[in-house]
Amino acid sequence: TGTPETTAFPYRVRSLAYKSFPRPWNNGKVNPNAD
């Protein structure tokens, strides 16, 4: 199924993306506490 590093990588990228880009369900604001 992959090593912990390879399985965690997409989630880290997604987490950074969630923190970096505004989202309509967050009133268009960046949420520093997003997972």
What is the DSSP annotation of 1-35? Answer: ---HHHHHHHHHHHHHHHHHS--GGGTT---TT--
- Whether the model clears a pTM of 0.85, i.e. scores above it, the answer is no
Contact status, residue 22 vs residue 29, Cβ threshold 8 Å: yes
Q: How confident is the model at residue 13 (pLDDT cuts 50, 70, 90)?
A: confident
Contact status, residue 7 vs residue 15, Cβ threshold 8 Å: no
pLDDT score for 22: 57
